[in-house]
Structure 1
């Protein structure tokens, strides 16, 4: 473009030169003039309209110059294309006008060259920048490629390490599988075995080569389980439902090569191996384990039988021994009021001390048997801590002074005065600890410290510490001091007599109350026994008042009494007993009828049977208490065949004030109403039940109108015949509640008619059912009833 612009001015000079020559010799120069004009005209046309020159068209000076030159050339072109004479005549004007264009042409050439040069510079600069960016991009690409290369090297090394790890892991897994004591069997989705380790060879008797490729269900699964296994696999493959997969170890049966079936523990899991799913089974032969378990179970059962026998023996013997001991001590008290010689009184004192000590030992053994049998329950009532401790201190003060001891109490920190808990058990624990401290301390100090040491489940944790300055306990004996029947062979054992059960009972009581007991001591330096028990804080007013205001015993005067009982015989017997005692009696045949009668008039006492159809005794009592009838505050006595501790709590929760166990006798009613019993007390409950209680039967006969006894007895025998025949082989409170109700009614009737052995058996079944057990009767009651029926026949 620069060359073309410079040629514009050159072509102009040629054209101007030809104009001069044409004026001097027109004949020879006109053709040359026209040719130079055409070249000049073409050059201007290219500069003005060519795309290559578009960059200089925006320059105002060049655009104006091009327009002027183009105007001149357009006018000159008409002359150039005309005749020679006209052209010769116009030559002076063309030359003059051409010379006037010299400045414009000069401007076009110079300005165009400048613009072209600037554009070239810009292009070079752009190319330079492009080259720089290209160089930077190239460097970045080289860096990225280098980094990628390094990363690929790293990945290659990492993959190599992983491959080595996988190889080692695979080798370890193979070694583990090969040396595993459990059989490891791997099968594919079709059930074919693809791995069979050494333990599997030993357990099932197949060589690995024999097992590989064989269907697992045909090889190791017993015939009676194959269909079940096949169905489970088809269900899993079809629906994905898992029952055995991932369920941990389950017990099944498996089959050896010999065909023998044996118990195994199996754990099955599934693993994806590429796109295929495989199943891994871990199988353990538990034949010997089950034999050991059965042996342990038998040993445990034998131990439990022995323990129960021991506990029962202790309980029976304690009861049987306590009865004559109480009679013996009572007789000694009576003898003390008679005229005795000094020697006889000395003998009497010795007998009394020995008798009381023996009774104390018997009571300790009885208490241990109760605790171990699980019949010991906790009571919950408000009491004052300071009052309880003060009474204990006062009871031991005389003996402490006799041994030259000072006994005192210290409260540490803020303590709740009023708490709720089992005061009787707390009192016995503290009395035992303080009593021991008094016995084994001489001319010393005994301190009872009380401190609150924390909070647990909304209750205050109270610590009682009994600290003495006595003889102390050897370190070797600290771990066994709370065991049963432990009496130390050192000075501790020679200072006082005892069974060694006191601290064992204290430990049991502390644990039953949710606390703990312990001791710190050094021989010759005294002891510090501590007891921590949780006690619920209550207001002072609640502690000073009784936990439940007892309903006063009814005076021995004619009363209006309502009997709510669904059994006609029991209702008749109770009514006749009350009539003979001079009371007025109304009857209700079920709980709903009883609620209606209690709402219609006032009764002094309501006897409420616990188990009745339509509405039981609990519901009826709740309905009476929650209503506004005349008897809503009447004393209600629960009548039941037997009363477990949990049931007594239910009686109280329902609003019942008292309870009486069937058979209801005149003595029980007199004791209930506060009158002195007229008959001898019943025999100890620990004795084996007799088939027939003739005393109770005779008492019933004496209580009924003449002629009624035989009729009622026949009705009882007929009802019991039907009840025993209707009992199924298995009884459960959740599955057959109507049968449990029938058992309860029959037990109550048996108690009324002195069928003691059958009543005991029925009550035992009812108790186990209420505890959630399913009891197997299986005809065990029929022989007892047949024997009872034969014993009752002579009474008709």
Structure 2
């Protein structure tokens, strides 16, 4: 093909070059005929004219032919063509004229023709050169084109070959996929056919196009019956049919899905017999070509629901039984604790009677047994409360050192009886004040320290405190209670924190208990977000550890009172009326005032106080706030609005606490001042003008209340006649036992008059006898109740009162020793 193209290109180029050479050849023929015509004019003019015409035609072809247009731009050729054309145009007239004229012009024509010889030579040679060069260029272009065409052809062949190979690969791949799809289709058909769930396939019109064997068994239709039937008429109950059709219409028109793709949902379906039964349905849509089909997987859950109902009933029965057990334990614990408190209180009262040594021995045995029984009852109650989920966390600020010191102090006497040394070690830097559930922390540490004291003899108990982590302002504090006692066997370490686990160790089973203490500790630790554990070897002592997160807080000064000045009263003997329903509080206040030289009259309630104030004049009236029949506010208003001699007397409110809202109530009722329980001689003297007013109002800087206010107790002891202090303290313990049992017998309380009265009276008595922590707890409950809160009392007072009572009993033992 390449040779043919070259021949074709060469053919055209050679034709042009031949034509150019023929121009010069025709000129020579024309010139020769001119010469012949000059020599022999006759018979040669026709030949001359013919040769001229041919020469003229050749020049016109070169001048006008498109093939020669490429050389017209050559200056030399253009100039030669112009000269030759001019000559030919002028000569053509002679050639076309008569013979004589032509013969006459022959010499001149020859002369002029001979002058064109060089120009014709230039046209021929220059044209041949130009066309030769262009022919070479064209041949080169054609050659390059042919090479590119060959390369393209090779690339195309390669591409076609690769494409062919790829098509072969795709063909084989499609063949394999077809086999896989065929196998998959066969497997799907087998799965659908053997599926325990009914599989129903329907088109967009709702007509059934597939109905498997499980569907036949569940719905009662043969496959041939179901195919082609509207699904909503086949299996959907009459009551749900309109809803189904509306959902399908909405989906087909708007694309809004209801059940489609929603996973398994529970509905009702209808059998061929018309029976309606519960099913679990999952519906999905699939594109089959351009058509959309709906695949429904349906499971009959009649038996499953029956089993679920049976399990639910069994679970409910179990929960009812568990709640009944918990409630029974709680009720029995409360019911047992109330008579136990009365029994223990009566035993304390018997201490003041004349007893023989044998009777006192019996009395001591009963008292110890009663206390142990009360402790067991409290433990069972606490476990029941924890298991019922009623335990909540409280956030109060306290000092770690103070809490641990009080725990150590409460256990020191028992430790000494066992010949033990008990000490505290601080490791590293500890936060001074933290916020957390101090009551639960105290209970855990009391259980751990109490166990260490009980199971250690002639040894040492060390309480280590260390900060083991810090995240922002929350510190992870670890308490370690390490003893040198009998230890715990490795096999028992995994169960020591289970309920009712008591290890029958040595010491002749001296340490009695229910085995609930460590179970309570574990529950409390988990509730606080911490953990508790133990490391021990039998005979080598134990190391119990507790890690709890506590929020570090800035030291704060707690103050319940305002700083307004107290109007000071004269120190001369005064006629004073005490309006107080609590016998102990009346007795204490009366004895203090009598010791100060004042004259005192008592009224047992608000109504008696109003009558007494209306009867005679008093210089000062001490008015309790919470009293039966008529409270302190109502009594004050009655005195102020009356016409009795004491209507303008200074009235001092006697209260367990004085919140700002209550101070406003004092003033609104007509009270002139207030004094905070516990009432002491120091506060009375401040009230009467001997001391600063802050002391009178009981302003004691403290970030955490002490268990006992020993200063107040000592002052009370000094203010009372000999023997009265012990008697009153015993009565206080008995009455508070009953009050705490009554209050903790309530699951919750609101601002009911009965509850507030009991809380207020008990708080006042606690203030009198220095039970500072219990007073604080009761005052807080009272304030929250008055604020409209529902306060869960159960469990909040027992640990505080147990510690307080233990400390007061130790104080009694020292006083009677």
| TM value normalised by structure 2 | 0.67
User: Do the aligned partners of residues 461 and 585 (structure 1) sit closer, same or farther apart at CA in structure 2, a change above 3 Å counting?
Assistant: farther
Match of 2:263 in 1: 248
Contact conserved, 1:579 with 1:585, CA < 8 A, in 2?
no
Residue 465 of structure 1 aligns to a residue whose secondary structure is: strand
Rounded Cα–Cα distance in structure 2 between residues aligned with 1:373 and 1:547? 36
Question: 1:197-236 counterparts in 2 under 5 A?
Answer: 197-236=212-251
Rounded Cα–Cα distance in structure 1 between residues aligned with 2:70 and 2:250? 83
The counterpart of 1:582, out of the listed 635, 644, 656, is: 635
Rounded Cα–Cα distance in structure 2 between residues aligned with 1:551 and 1:315? 45
Residue by residue over 1:155-202, the C-alpha shift from the partner in whole angstroms, topping out at 9 and shown as x without a partner, is 222222222222222222222222322222223333333322233233
Contact conserved, 2:264 with 2:282, CA < 8 A, in 1?
yes
Contact conserved, 1:467 with 1:529, CA < 8 A, in 2?
yes
The counterpart of 1:661, out of the listed 752, 757, 760, is: 752
Match of 2:115 in 1: 100
Query: In the alignment, does 2:532 pair up with 1:479?
Result: no
Query: In the alignment, does 2:398 pair up with 1:383?
Result: yes
CA-based RMSD: 4.1
Query: In the alignment, does 2:186 pair up with 1:171?
Result: yes
User: Do the aligned partners of residues 491 and 152 (structure 1) sit closer, same or farther apart at CA in structure 2, a change above 3 Å counting?
Assistant: farther
Residue by residue over 1:471-512, the C-alpha shift from the partner in whole angstroms, topping out at 9 and shown as x without a partner, is 333344333322221213455993521001111211222232
| C-alpha displacement of 1:14 | 1.5
Question: 1:114-129 counterparts in 2 under 5 A?
Answer: 114-129=129-144
User: Do the aligned partners of residues 647 and 96 (structure 1) sit closer, same or farther apart at CA in structure 2, a change above 3 Å counting?
Assistant: farther
Query: In the alignment, does 2:637 pair up with 1:546?
Result: no
Match of 1:268 in 2: 283
| C-alpha displacement of 1:514 | 2.9
Residue 265 of structure 1 aligns to a residue whose secondary structure is: strand
Match of 1:317 in 2: 332
Rounded Cα–Cα distance in structure 2 between residues aligned with 1:535 and 1:675? 29
| C-alpha displacement of 1:115 | 0.8
Query: In the alignment, does 2:383 pair up with 1:368?
Result: yes
Residue by residue over 1:591-631, the C-alpha shift from the partner in whole angstroms, topping out at 9 and shown as x without a partner, is xxxx9xx89983469xxxxxxxxxxxxxxxxxxxxxxxxxx
Contact conserved, 2:637 with 2:669, CA < 8 A, in 1?
no
Match of 1:44 in 2: 59
Residue by residue over 1:414-442, the C-alpha shift from the partner in whole angstroms, topping out at 9 and shown as x without a partner, is 43322111101101101111221232234
| C-alpha displacement of 1:647 | 8.8
Match of 2:299 in 1: 284
Residue 532 of structure 1 aligns to a residue whose secondary structure is: strand
| C-alpha displacement of 1:367 | 1.8
| C-alpha displacement of 1:361 | 1.0
User: Do the aligned partners of residues 138 and 326 (structure 1) sit closer, same or farther apart at CA in structure 2, a change above 3 Å counting?
Assistant: same
354-363 or 441-450, which moves further after superposition? 441-450
User: Do the aligned partners of residues 173 and 475 (structure 1) sit closer, same or farther apart at CA in structure 2, a change above 3 Å counting?
Assistant: farther
User: Do the aligned partners of residues 255 and 604 (structure 1) sit closer, same or farther apart at CA in structure 2, a change above 3 Å counting?
Assistant: farther
455-464 or 384-393, which moves further after superposition? 455-464
Query: In the alignment, does 2:431 pair up with 1:416?
Result: yes
Residue by residue over 1:344-365, the C-alpha shift from the partner in whole angstroms, topping out at 9 and shown as x without a partner, is 4443333332222122111112
| Structure 2 unpaired stretches of 5+ | 1-15, 567-576, 581-605, 607-625, 641-660, 672-742, 769-789, 792-817
Residue 482 of structure 1 aligns to a residue whose secondary structure is: coil
The counterpart of 2:106, out of the listed 91, 100, 105, is: 91
376-385 or 443-452, which moves further after superposition? 443-452
Match of 1:602 in 2: 668
User: Do the aligned partners of residues 669 and 82 (structure 1) sit closer, same or farther apart at CA in structure 2, a change above 3 Å counting?
Assistant: closer
The counterpart of 1:144, out of the listed 149, 159, 171, is: 159
Match of 1:775 in 2: none
Query: In the alignment, does 2:23 pair up with 1:8?
Result: yes
Residue 558 of structure 2 aligns to a residue whose secondary structure is: coil
Query: In the alignment, does 2:48 pair up with 1:33?
Result: yes
Contact conserved, 1:556 with 1:673, CA < 8 A, in 2?
no
Contact conserved, 2:637 with 2:670, CA < 8 A, in 1?
no
Q: Which has the higher contact order (CA 8 A, sep 6+)?
A: 2
Residue by residue over 1:620-671, the C-alpha shift from the partner in whole angstroms, topping out at 9 and shown as x without a partner, is xxxxxxxxxxxxxxxxxxxxxx9999998xxxxxxxxxx7414589877766
Residue by residue over 1:516-574, the C-alpha shift from the partner in whole angstroms, topping out at 9 and shown as x without a partner, is 333344444443333232222211x22xx33876999x99669xx9xxxxxxxxxxx99
Contact conserved, 1:381 with 1:547, CA < 8 A, in 2?
no
User: Do the aligned partners of residues 226 and 116 (structure 1) sit closer, same or farther apart at CA in structure 2, a change above 3 Å counting?
Assistant: closer
Rounded Cα–Cα distance in structure 1 between residues aligned with 2:345 and 2:444? 27
Q: How many residues align?
A: 612
Residue by residue over 1:51-99, the C-alpha shift from the partner in whole angstroms, topping out at 9 and shown as x without a partner, is 2111111111111122222223233334334444443343333323322
Residue 27 of structure 1 aligns to a residue whose secondary structure is: coil
Contact conserved, 1:388 with 1:427, CA < 8 A, in 2?
yes
Contact conserved, 1:377 with 1:645, CA < 8 A, in 2?
no
Residue 577 of structure 1 aligns to a residue whose secondary structure is: coil
Residue 668 of structure 2 aligns to a residue whose secondary structure is: coil
The counterpart of 1:66, out of the listed 64, 69, 81, is: 81
Rounded Cα–Cα distance in structure 1 between residues aligned with 2:282 and 2:508? 59
Rounded Cα–Cα distance in structure 2 between residues aligned with 1:179 and 1:299? 35
Query: In the alignment, does 2:146 pair up with 1:134?
Result: no
Contact conserved, 1:19 with 1:91, CA < 8 A, in 2?
yes
Query: In the alignment, does 2:526 pair up with 1:511?
Result: yes
